[in-house]
Amino acid sequence: MEYRTEHDSMGEVQVPAWALWGAQTERSRRNFPIGVGLEPMPIEIIRAFAQIKKAAALSNRVLLPETMTEEKCAAICEAADAILDGSLTAHFPLVVWQTGSGTQSNMNVNEVIANYGNAQAGKALLHPNDDVNLSQSSNDTFPTALHVAAVRSVEGGLLSAVDGLIASLRRLESENGDVLKIGRTHLQDATPLRFSQEISGWRGSLEQDRRMLLAALPPLREIALGGTAVGTGLNAPKGFDLLAAETLSELTGSSFVSAPNKFHALTSLDELVFVHGAIKALAADLMKIANDVRLLASGPRCGLGEIEIPANEPGSSIMPGKVNPTQCEQLTMAAVQVLGNDTAIGIAASQGNFELNVFLPVCAYNFLQSSRLLAESVRSFTERCVRGIRANRERMAQNVERSLMLATALSPYVGYEKAARIAQTAAERGISLREACVESGLLSAERFDEIVRPERMV
119 neighbors 125 (Cβ within 8 angstroms): no
Instruction: Please say if 186 is a catalytic residue.
Output: yes
**CA 110 to chain centroid:** 29
Position 197: which residue type? Q
| Cβ–Cβ under 8 Å, residues 179 and 196 | yes
For helices 138-153 and 360-384, angle between their N-to-C axes, nearest 10 degrees: 10
Pairwise CA distance, residues 244 & 223, whole Å? 10
Backbone phi, psi, residue 271, to 5°? -65, -40
Q: Is the dihedral of CA 360, 32, 124, 84 positive or negative?
A: negative
- Asked whether the beta carbons of 265 and 259 are under 8 A apart, the reply is yes
Report how many helices (DSSP H) and strands (DSSP E) the chain contains, helices first: 17, 8
Cβ atoms < 10 Å from Cβ of 446? 9
Residue 254 annotated among the catalytic residues of the structure: no
**CA-based radius of gyration for the chain:** 30
Q: Which of 316, 350, 411, 444 is catalytic?
A: 316
- The phi and psi torsions of 266 (rounded to 5 degrees) equal -80, -25
Q: What angle do CA 90, 95, 96 make, to 5 degrees?
A: 135
| DSSP state letter for 133 | T
C-alpha 361/C-alpha 263 separation (Å) is: 19
Interaxial angle between packed helices 195-220 and 159-175, expressed in degrees from 0 to 180 and rounded to the nearest 10: 160
Say if strands 3-8 and 11-16 run parallel, antiparallel, or are unpaired.
Answer: antiparallel
Q: Which residues are marked as active site? A: 186, 316
